[in-house]
Amino acid sequence: MGLGEVFVSEVLGTGMLTLLGVGVVANVLLGRTKGRGVGASWLLITFGWGLAVMAGVFVAYKSGAHLNPAVTFGIMASGADTYGGQANVDVDFGSTVVYLGGEFLGAFIGAVVAWLAYRNHYDDPDAAAGLKLATFSTGPEIRNYTWNVITEVIGTFVLVFVILSWAPGEAPSELGPLPVALLVVGIGASLGGPTGYAINPARDLGPRIAHFLVPIKGKGGSDWAYSWVPIVGPLIGGVAAGLLSQATF
């Protein structure tokens, strides 16, 4: 499997992840949807994101289904020789760039498709600008950049460390989609409250760029002042998990 196929696999898998992930948040938060006001909205969102990850892992199994730069960097930091999956490509600069490019592009495309699915609801004048942004990207309940980063570090560390504990040096596709999905649900339920648990730089930045570019009535700003937190925090957490896994597994 060549790097071009790896790129396409990660684009499609990450696109599926963000399509369903952005979609479940839109279903809960936007006005006049079938999911609006159904009660346990946070649990619906966490389960929706978990199932979104499961779908993405199925779609991108050939490339190892990283779907997340923090996972890519975590595998690299673990000392693995290859990135896993049917691709089985060496861990080097070129392959890393291919994985990252596919993840970020896929996340952007998936968010745009989710916007198309909910186009009328995004343009609803009764929907608050903050809720529209919240469907695309994460934001803190209490804005304190230092502690927001720490929260993202912890959540992403759990994600990557547990993945590597199941199969040291392997990608999520080797673990099976359901265990990874349930892990994401658990992180959201336990650690998602402070920041909305991005735990994935592509999942946050790609949709945030989509929010900035697509025409949405009354959408407000894209909160670029916060946008670095769900990039830096998850990358630190992923690398820390990879490094610790070398001494543990």
Say how far residue 166 (Cα) sits from the centre of its chain. 20
CATH 1.10.150.130 fits 3-248, yes or no: no
Domain limits, the chain: 3-248
Let me know: does 241 contact 74? Beta carbons within 8 Å. yes
Q: Are 59 and 19 in contact (CB under 8 A)?
A: no
**Mean pLDDT of successive 10-residue stretches along the chain, which has 249 residues:** 91 98 95 73 93 96 94 94 81 96 98 97 88 96 98 98 79 77 96 97 98 95 98 98 88
pLDDT of residue 37: 66
User: How many CA atoms does the CB half-sphere of 123 hold within 13 Å?
Assistant: 8
Report pLDDT for 127: 82
Q: What is the rounded CA–CA span in Å between residue 77 and residue 98?
A: 17
Cβ-Cβ contacts under 8 Å for 164 (sequence gap 6 or more): 74, 75, 78, 170, 241, 242, 245, 249
- The residues, any chain, with a CB within 8 Å of residue 4's CB and separated by 6 or more, are none
Q: For residue 214, what pLDDT is reported?
A: 97
